[in-house]
Chains A and B, each alone.
Chain A
Amino acid sequence: MNSLFAIGIVVLVAATVIGLLMSIAHLITRYTQKPANTQSDSDKDLPYECGLIGTPAQSSRIPSGYYLTAILFVLFDIEIIFLYPWAIAYRDFLSTGDGLGYLTAFIIFLLLFILGLFWEIRVKALNWK
């Protein structure tokens, strides 16, 4: 069977099973629970906060460390994915007799990676506040 078609079937089966479970739960709720007390003026509607009621809504900004982590992840992910074809062809390269050249290309690329990473560690860019 074609791989993509099978992938589609897996996604459909997973979504169906999970959807079935959630639908059953929702239907049971609808027909056995009273609907009146879920509206916006009751306490049930507030977000859960360890028993306290209310908190200043827009008090703090979300720290910018998340943004930096995500961008650095994108960059290093791209670098690593560039190394994947090199890795699987490495042993074939070696048998052609020019292994040192390919190894050097790899080491230089990884040295650039390491340089970037260690600079960031040294500049304390990756420390969490």
Chain B
Amino acid sequence: MTPFLFYTLSFLALYGALNTIFRKNPITCAMHLALTMVALAGLFFNIGAYFIAGVQLVVYAGAVMVLFVMVVMLFDNKQTSETKDNKHMAVKVFISVFMLGILSGVIPHSTGFTNKIVAPEVTPTKSLATLLFSDYVLFFEWIGVLLMIVAVGVVLLSRSEDS
């Protein structure tokens, strides 16, 4: 059961990611990226990281991608057909494959993960919370400061365009 689900969700994620790159219509790209996010949430759910799966759904697929789609819709009515520049395609493909090779080769060896499915403890979210708020509470507060800075910055930047 689990290999079937893993392969289906991975196929969906890859399909979404490849379509995001290779399609012309910007809304299609954005929707396929949202599909990738949902498939990733399913993959997280599959290995037992339920809270992270929920966060992926809520924040990535539900907030960030909605923002992307809204922005694409706001700016889309001027240009509906893209020009596809095929000029240095071989170089682009080579760099992409090279980066993919680096990522898939380096990351597994450096973090030392095995390919076992993570066995969840009784309540993994509570242990996440305990860790986050005891050892890393200062980083938690810094994240709050960072988000506040971004909020203020966004308002100021959008102001300076209007007036």
Contacts and interface: CB of A to CB of B under 8 A. Distances in A.
**Touch test A–B (CB under 8 Å):** yes
Interface of A: 2-5, 7-8, 58, 62, 64, 66-68, 70-79, 81-82, 84-86, 88-89, 92-93, 102, 105, 108-109, 112-113, 115-116, 119-120, 123, 125
B67 interface: yes
Interface string B5-44: 1001100000000000000000000000000000000100
A89 B152 contact: no
Given A4-B42, A73-B63, A123-B155, A89 B147 contact: no
Nearest to A115: B148
A75 B62 CA distance: 12
A75 B147 contact: yes
B140 A109 contact: yes
Interface of B, secondary structure class, is helix
A70 B5 contact: no
Q: Which 6 A-B pairs have the closest CB atoms?
A: A85-B129, A89-B129, A112-B144, A116-B148, A125-B155, A70-B67
Contacts, number: 116
Interface size class, chain B: 35 or more
A109 B151 contact: no
Given A68-B155, A70-B66, A85-B51, A2 B1 contact: yes
B100 interface: no
A88 B129 contact: yes
A74 B147 CA distance: 10
Contact of A4 (B46, B126, B128, B148): B46
B117 interface: no
12 contacts: A67-B74, A68-B154, A70-B67, A72-B154, A74-B63, A75-B151, A88-B125, A105-B141, A112-B141, A113-B147, A115-B148, A120-B155
B12 to A, nearest CB: 10
B152 A116 contact: yes
B71 A67 contact: yes
Contact of B133 (A4, A71, A102, A116): A102
B96 interface: no
